[in-house]
Structure 1
Amino acid sequence: MTLTELRYIVAVARERHFGRAAEACHVSQPTLSVAIKKLEEELDVKIFERGSSEVSLTPLGESIVRQAQSVIEQAQGIREIAKRGKDPLAGPLRLGIIYTIGPYLLPELVRNAIEQTPQMPLMLQENFTVKLLDMLRTGELDCAVMAEPFPDTGLAVAPLYDEPFVVAVPANHALAQREHISPEELKRETMLLLGTGHCFRDHVLEVCPEYARFSSDTEGIKKSFEGSSLETIKHMVASGMGVTVVPGLSVPKEPTAHLAYVPFTEPVPTRRVVLAWRRSFTRYEAIAALRNAVYACELPGVTRLTA
């Protein structure tokens, strides 16, 4: 049994496909398949059920893959211990971040990280919360910046900041002149929402539940449209197609000609942004350095959290 074989079975468990797993491991499919077959023969168990279109884990295979992931992490820990003896921050840090935070935090965060810890380059992955959690669990990521709440996966979590929500409306809209807007006032507006899978969509629906049950012939939202990104939705709002709710950091510093951003009335809805990592991750100094790089960002309008 080798670490390489263990990496192969973890890759197949993740991809549910031998070809994609081989590609992820940078080997040919026959090489990967032969190695996994050899491991199954050595253990005298069947780890995978081979279907016509997808590979699945046997019940015993699930336990084996979990243990394999633990062994891989422990082996990586040995390398990290050796690196920390030379430089605790040496080597890249694999950072995940959700789509509705990445464009607004990463530019300044990356600059700060380069200035403060040039020996620790950030390897970035933008994705949905569910996918980032899976990548943390399988060791593809070291840590991730996400918004609470998310399923309890036994991760270590450090709060970064609380971010207020803001209403975005066309500049010529009647609400654009308001100092504040209440969720109740948005009921009859055409609402533009992010598509399913974005946690920020769920946050908005918590603030204004009416958005989730709109109907053309009952009270509530007149109509709802979905978009793939906040910036796409902002362009749709600017063209007069409706209104939307955005996180505070996505509001540009300079006024825009076609969009107006109006705060909510008290209590202002917010989301808590946190840094999460596996409890077994041994590079504590890297996590601390990343948090310091976040705190060094300007972060206008947010409430910083250091506890």
Structure 2
Amino acid sequence: MTLTELKYIVAVAREKHFGKGAEACHVSQPTLSVAIKKLEEELQVKLFERNANEITVTPLGEEIVRQAQSVLEQADSIREIAKRGKDPLAGALRLGVIHTIGPYLLPDLVRQAIALTPQMPLMLQENLTVKLLEELRTGEIDCAILAEPFPDTNLAIAPLYDEPFMAAVPSNHALAARTSITADELKKETMLLLGTGHCFRDHVLEVCPEFARFSSNAEGIRKSFEGSSLETIKHMVAAGMGVTLVPRLSVPKDAFLPATPTKPPPKSKSKQVPELPSYIKYLPFEGHVPTRRVVLAWRRSFTRYEAIAALRNAIYACELPGVSRLS
């Protein structure tokens, strides 16, 4: 039994396909298949059910794959311990971020990380919460920036900040004349939501649970529309299709500048399209302000403690306007 063989069975279990597993391990499919067959013969157990259309892991195979993943992590830990003896921060850190945080935190975070720990480049991935949790479990990423709540997977968690939500309404909407808004007032509007699988969708529905029934059937299409990204949703707001909630870090800085009268632009043959923020009014909530807690999560078996601490320091060095930092 070798670490290479264990790596192969973990890859096939994850991909549920011998060809894709071989590709993930950068070997040919025959090489991978022969190695797995050899391991099955050595253990005298069947790890995978090989059907025509898919590969499934046998019940005993699932237990062996979990142990193999643990062994591979321990082997990586030995390498990391050796690296830490030279430089605890040496080497890339694989960081996952959910879609509604990445575009607004990463530009500043990357700059801070380069300035503070240039020897530790960030390998970044944006994905859905459920996918990032799976990749944390399998060791494909080292840590992830997520928004609570999410399923308890026995991860180590460090709170980063509490982020308030704001309402985004078209600039020509009746509510745009307001300086603040309540959740009750949003109930009368057409709510724009992210698609199923985005945790921010669930956060919006917590504030306005009435839209849950509209968002799951065709009859409610007049009351609820879905977009693939938060920026797409903003464009739909700007177009006057409805209103939505956005996290504070996603609000452009110029949205908080006082409105000043401007002279009409000079006539020109080419049409000038105004910037998107001019089409959207962002409103804070009155009274109880809905928020989300953003945290850093990593496997308890991950041994680069200094790297996690350095990443937190880089996050806290970011501007993070309007959020409540947590220690």
User: What secondary structure does 1:201 align onto?
Assistant: helix
Contact 1:191 1:224 in 2 (8 A): yes
Partner of 1:99: 99
Distance 2:115 2:214 in 1: 48
Aligned equivalent of 1:280, options 277, 293, 301: 301
Partner of 1:142: 142
Partner of 1:8: 8
User: What secondary structure does 2:278 align onto?
Assistant: coil
| Structure having the higher Rg | 2
User: What secondary structure does 1:13 align onto?
Assistant: helix
Partner of 2:211: 211
| Residue identity matched to 1:59 | P
Distance 1:58 1:124 in 2: 33
Partner of 2:88: 88
Distance 2:221 2:46 in 1: 53
Partner of 1:292: 313
Q: Which runs of 5+ in 1 are unaligned?
A: none
| Residue identity matched to 2:287 | E
Distance 2:177 2:248 in 1: 18
* TM-score, normalised by the number of residues in structure 1: 0.96
Deviation, structure 1 residue 214 = 3.3
Contact 1:170 1:238 in 2 (8 A): yes
Identity %: 80
Q: Could you list the per-position Cα deviations for residues 176-201 of structure 1 after superposition, in whole angstroms to 9, with x for gaps in the alignment?
A: 11111111101121111000000000
Q: Could you list the per-position Cα deviations for residues 201-251 of structure 1 after superposition, in whole angstroms to 9, with x for gaps in the alignment?
A: 001101110111239xxxx99511000000001001101111111111100
Partner of 2:264: none
Contact 1:13 1:65 in 2 (8 A): yes
> How many aligned residue pairs are there?
302
Q: Could you list the per-position Cα deviations for residues 108-167 of structure 1 after superposition, in whole angstroms to 9, with x for gaps in the alignment?
A: 001110110011110111100000000000000100000000000000000000000110
User: What secondary structure does 1:184 align onto?
Assistant: helix
Question: Any runs of at least 4 consecutive aligned residues in structure 1 with deviations exceeding 2 A, and if so which?
Answer: none
* TM-score, normalised by the number of residues in structure 2: 0.91
Deviation, structure 1 residue 28 = 1.1
- Alpha-carbon RMSD: 1.2
Q: Establish whether residue 264 from structure 1 lines up as the match of residue 285 from structure 2.
A: yes
Q: Could you list the per-position Cα deviations for residues 65-124 of structure 1 after superposition, in whole angstroms to 9, with x for gaps in the alignment?
A: 010001000000000010000000001100000000000000100111011001111011
Partner of 1:154: 154
Q: Establish whether residue 189 from structure 1 lines up as the match of residue 189 from structure 2.
A: yes
Q: Which runs of 5+ in 2 are unaligned?
A: 256-276
Q: Establish whether residue 230 from structure 1 lines up as the match of residue 230 from structure 2.
A: yes
